[in-house]
Amino acid sequence: MASPSLPARHPGAAGNVLHPVPPLPRAGEHAELCSGLLASRAHTSPKYFYDAMGSVLFEAICVLPEYYPTRTEAAIFSTHLPQMAEVIGTGGTIIDLGAGNCAKAARLFPLLHPHQYVPIDISADHLNDAVSRLQQRFPHIEMTALSLDLAQDWQLPPEVRNERRLFFYPGSSIGNFEPAQALDFLRHLRLCCDNNGGILIGVDLIKDAQILATAYDDHLGVTAAFNLNLLRHINRLLGSDFALSQWQHRAFFNSRQSRIEMHLEAKQDVQVRWADGGRDFRQGESIHTENSYKYSIPDFVALLEQAGFIAAHHWTDSDEWFAVIYAQTA
């Protein structure tokens, strides 16, 4: 269980030196990875994709023609931002869940005029650079960066103001949770809000299975590289000896469960060893590396309502491939 690291505070004064956000505690990661790899159906958490190389590869995925979510969501924001601001109102605290380079939230600032901005990311290095640059562009906004693993239990520290919290969760990352976990997560967000809170969330919608599958198996092989890079990251974390040449990327839409599944499949019989363990994989056996759930708007609205939010508005593209939903505390 990751405990929240001490927050780095970034008061509005320009020229302030930023305190580095300490890296997440790595204890328990070893055990979590091993138990996933040793399970009868081997699996890993998608958070292990994002080492330095994985983060760069993900940025490349976001500009692939096949990967429609990023550009579709961006177009929805470009078109509808003024109306979003009207519905949401100005002021308050924007809490950015999985902020990365903070670019998506920064586009909201000129219209939403938040008092405080709280970017949260698992990767502290990325965050500190981005926040220090952003603070110079928006010196009046109080910025408080947090390094948290949102997949674990987490709480907001007292530095985060508790009036009009707006949770900003773009990119359809909610799709990485099992639906039951997604509900727990949304409930947790609801409990973090006073009665004037809300959530602005990006949701990838159910669509043609071929379009979905191609978005996760692009022709340049960037998503394949992103998936295979996980093995290098694991080799560093565990001291294991995964040979990338023995594995191949698999991605498909599981329509029964309404999710994209990504796997790494053994091209031959494979033996993997690490310090205190190891596993043999048969040819064709795979490691399940990611689920990305796709929703219909009514199903996601129902989920929000079960969590105690009232879905006030949603905006989509003309193909209805992606939705941005604003929901308020009920």
Interface residues with ligand AVJ (CB under 6 A) are 61, 69, 171-173, 175-176, 216, 223, 290, 292
- How many other C-beta atoms lie within 10 A of the C-beta of residue 119? 29
Any idea which residue has 């998608």 for tokens?
46
Q: Which is nearer to ligand AVJ, 36 or 175 (CB)?
A: 175
Q: Which is nearer to ligand AVJ, 135 or 176 (CB)?
A: 176
> Are the C-beta atoms of 107 and 168 separated by less than 8 Å?
no
Q: Which two tokens stand for residue 234?
A: 């694991």
Q: Which is nearer to ligand AVJ, 36 or 202 (CB)?
A: 202
Q: Which is nearer to ligand AVJ, 144 or 229 (CB)?
A: 229
Plot region of 258 (φ>0 → left; ψ -120 to 50 → alpha; else → beta): left
Provide the 3-class DSSP secondary structure of residue 222: helix
> Are the C-beta atoms of 115 and 91 separated by less than 8 Å?
yes
- Separation of alpha carbons 101 and 99, rounded Å: 6
Provide the 3-class DSSP secondary structure of residue 145: strand
Least separation in angstroms between CB 117 and ligand AVJ: 21
Q: Which is nearer to ligand AVJ, 223 or 328 (CB)?
A: 223
The half-sphere exposure of 285 on its side-chain side, counting CA atoms within 13 A, is 16
Least separation in angstroms between CB 202 and ligand AVJ: 8
Least separation in angstroms between CB 121 and ligand AVJ: 12
- Separation of alpha carbons 79 and 167, rounded Å: 21
Least separation in angstroms between CB 322 and ligand AVJ: 11
Least separation in angstroms between CB 35 and ligand AVJ: 22
Least separation in angstroms between CB 176 and ligand AVJ: 5
Q: Which two tokens stand for residue 148?
A: 């948290």
Q: Which is nearer to ligand AVJ, 62 or 237 (CB)?
A: 62
Which residue has its beta carbon closest to ligand AVJ? 292
